[in-house]
Structure 1
Amino acid sequence: MSRAFVFPGQGSQAVGMGTDLSQAFAAAREVFQEVDESLKQNLSKLMREGPESDLVLTENAQPALMAVSMAVVAVLEKEGGRPLASLASHVAGHSLGEYSALAAAGALKIADAARLLKLRGQSMQKAVPVGEGAMAALLGIELEPAQEACKEAAQGEVVAVANDNGGGQVVVSGHKAAVERAIEAAKARGCKRGMLLPVSAPFHCRLMQPAADAMARALETVPLATPRVPLIANVLAAEITEPGAIKQRLVEQVTGLVRWRESVQYMKSQGVETLAECGAGKVLSGLVRRIDKDMNGLALNTPADIEAFLKTA
């Protein structure tokens, strides 16, 4: 098997997401209905119609992105008549996408994933008062110089690398002033551009510890099975299958570095040649060749994408 399924994180949401899947496939409609019922919220209507100001709220965006990813997987399995394990050798997800990956691999029920992500979003938002934290994308810089820039910029505050996305794209997170200082420190180390991101909280840094604690408590109450194919964990950049260890990594992930570049490189070392991105947007499939020019990225987010994929899978 030379293919892995990967699942997008926050930022890929958009009004209208999943609408074409819902119109084309009963399997997708069933997923959206299950998520709505689990949350006691008409999230699918918000996804279809907006307003965008509500959809981008972390507590809505996270379960919405998982819902679209799981709709794609449900269509692949039911329309194609192929279980996920026959289509992919590994799964991985960027940040919240790790929950989508676990649900796709049968380790987590869709309803449980939706409730966990709702709580995750709420807890992340509550962890830091609005305006105190920030995140910034640094372009044209690699992990180590970005980490050095963060050390220089901290000055008693928190700032750290949150995402190592690969292809010279690194995201930093922390106190707003420290993040702004890190942008300047990174430019002195060759960063071509640094820009603040339109996010509501500083994800994947130690300011998120209250959210990590909330997720640890929540995960204790949720059953987790062994995934049907190995998960490449964000904080390990290596595969993991034992349910207790997966829960621990999900907690660590809230404050930890998303090691996406290394995760992709690990999958290549295991024989993976193509990453198929299941869900909204094309962020991860777009990053693949920037990380490794010998690998391919494929986006599966429309009925046409899925039908074309099933003809060749």
Structure 2
Amino acid sequence: MPAASLTARCINGTICRPFSTHSTNQTLRTALFFPGHGVHRIGMISSWAEAFPKTSKSFIDEMDATLGLPLSKIISDGPNSELNRTENSQPSIMATSILILRILEQEFGFKTTERVDVTLGHSLGEYSALVAGGYLDFAAALKMVRGRAEVMAQCSRRARQKSGDMYGMVALICEPDHLQSLISAIREFLDPGSTGSRDDSSNEMSSIQQVLIANINSKNQIVLSGSIERIKTLLVQLRQFGGHDPRAVRLKSDSPFHSPIMAPAAQYMRTQLDATDITFPATMPCVSNVSAMPFTSKDDLKDLLSRQCVETVRWWDSIRYLDQERGVKRWIGIGPGKVGRNLVGKEVGRISSKGGGVWGLSDPREVEEIMRALEKPEYEDVDNA
């Protein structure tokens, strides 16, 4: 594939920068992807710990020692009020994802560097992807995720105290052929200055401005983040004046992730990344949530990973880029829940040629079936798992 063709078209029609960190002639056949916030549940590591005690015990001991707190007990026993706290739920999800990957490697001989061509993660999952790809050490990434989550929780509390508003996230679901015009209408109604990368003083903006398209997840789903009252007002405007009537679903989050309110978290990440050892280039490309393209340098990684706190997660663009432009046929989702696997499957559809498929691994009972499917030659037809 010539380098000139390795571009991704953004959701607004602009052309993003070309991929340049690895061979531009290489077809990326297998992608490893990880879930983001909201997939946590009490006991999500228990079945893995019971089935694979040797690998799990050493990993859990490392996790708790790294954070200096018994996170494993919170994951295993709760209560929900404790696990649901952002500073606990986010490192729990990230750690559970990496535990599953370690079990694959150590118990089943899965060679990540040989079997996987590219990694990516949805929002929080980007940190798991960077660990899997060899960019970040697990312990360093876990500490950053915990610290970032603590700052995010503080941002949410300060915003509520200052304005008296409720904050959170609302998913909008529409017909696929209406998505582009829905996004355009939302951006027209919102202050254009609030939808860019204003991550310095933007956390001081009024709640009316503090709304952002936090995620573009698939061909018919986006997520708004910010003041719930402002989001409700925006929905009224869309229905009365914008010609759109999307189905709105309030998400289980009282934090407005990927919005200007999270500016202090972006600043925190810049500081932490400057003090963290980053391997670049690493063993495989990793796709950024912000650019929907692979990171191109160590500085690019620091910049985009920081901005991810306040900018839109372009998951749909990322999947389309790998599916349509880089030839990915095998998609392996690792981590709690099935949300990530469903979002990928929605975009790439049924893959029935050249050993392709979309798999989600969140339970030990799924391992052997998935490993058998992955052992099939790439030229052999298989169905999606």
Same-fold status (TM-score > 0.5): yes
Q: In structure 1, give the amino acid aligned to 2:216.
A: D
Q: How does 1:293-312 map to 2 (within 5 A)?
A: 293-295=349-351, 296-312=357-373
SS at match of 1:304: helix
Q: In structure 2, give the amino acid aligned to 1:10.
A: H
> Could you give the per-residue CA deviations for residues 31-76 of structure 1, whole angstroms, max 9, x where no partner exists?
2221111111111111111111111111111110011110111011
Which aligned runs of 4 or more in structure 1 are off by greater than 6 angstroms?
A: none
Cα gap change, 1:184 to 1:146, in 2 (>3 Å): farther
* Deviation of 1:241 (Å): 5.0
* Deviation of 1:247 (Å): 1.6
Q: In structure 2, give the amino acid aligned to 1:190.
A: H
- In the alignment, is the contact (CA less than 8 A) between 1:158 and 1:206 conserved in 2? yes
Q: In structure 1, give the amino acid aligned to 2:362.
A: N
User: Alpha carbon RMSD of aligned pairs, Å?
Assistant: 1.9
* Deviation of 1:111 (Å): 1.0
2:274 aligns with: 220
What CA distance in whole angstroms lies between the structure 2 residues aligned with 1:27 and 1:167?
39
Query: Which blocks of at least 5 consecutive residues in structure 1 are unaligned?
Result: none
> Could you give the per-residue CA deviations for residues 67-123 of structure 1, whole angstroms, max 9, x where no partner exists?
111011101111222321222111000111000111112211111111101111111
* Deviation of 1:216 (Å): 0.9
What CA distance in whole angstroms lies between the structure 2 residues aligned with 1:147 and 1:60?
36
* Deviation of 1:144 (Å): 4.6
What CA distance in whole angstroms lies between the structure 2 residues aligned with 1:306 and 1:100?
19
Cα gap change, 1:243 to 1:148, in 2 (>3 Å): same
1:3 and 2:34 are equivalent in the alignment: no
1:89 aligns with: 117
Q: How does 1:202-281 map to 2 (within 5 A)?
A: 202-226=256-280, 227-240=282-295, 242-268=297-323, 269-281=325-337
Larger CA deviation: 54-63 vs 21-30: 21-30
- In the alignment, is the contact (CA less than 8 A) between 1:162 and 1:203 conserved in 2? yes
SS at match of 2:309: helix
Q: Among 18, 40, 44, which residue is 1:13 paired with?
A: 40
What CA distance in whole angstroms lies between the structure 2 residues aligned with 1:209 and 1:144?
28
Larger CA deviation: 219-228 vs 23-32: 23-32
Percentage of pairs with the same residue: 30
Cα gap change, 1:195 to 1:153, in 2 (>3 Å): farther
Report how many aligned residue pairs link the two structures. 313
2:3 aligns with: none
Cα gap change, 1:191 to 1:146, in 2 (>3 Å): farther
What CA distance in whole angstroms lies between the structure 2 residues aligned with 1:185 and 1:30?
54
- In the alignment, is the contact (CA less than 8 A) between 2:33 and 2:332 conserved in 1? yes
SS at match of 1:142: helix
TM-score normalised by L of structure 2: 0.77
Q: In structure 1, give the amino acid aligned to 2:372.
A: K
Q: How does 1:65-80 map to 2 (within 5 A)?
A: 65-80=93-108
Q: How does 1:28-107 map to 2 (within 5 A)?
A: 28-107=56-135
- In the alignment, is the contact (CA less than 8 A) between 2:289 and 2:318 conserved in 1? yes
TM-score normalised by L of structure 1: 0.94
* Deviation of 1:220 (Å): 1.3
What CA distance in whole angstroms lies between the structure 1 residues aligned with 2:67 and 2:208?
40
* Deviation of 1:132 (Å): 4.2
Q: Among 197, 202, 219, which residue is 1:167 paired with?
A: 219
* Deviation of 1:134 (Å): 2.4
- In the alignment, is the contact (CA less than 8 A) between 2:38 and 2:252 conserved in 1? no
> Could you give the per-residue CA deviations for residues 126-160 of structure 1, whole angstroms, max 9, x where no partner exists?
12334442211101152551342254155952211
2:169 aligns with: 135
SS at match of 1:108: coil
* Deviation of 1:171 (Å): 0.1
* Deviation of 1:173 (Å): 1.0
* Deviation of 1:185 (Å): 3.3
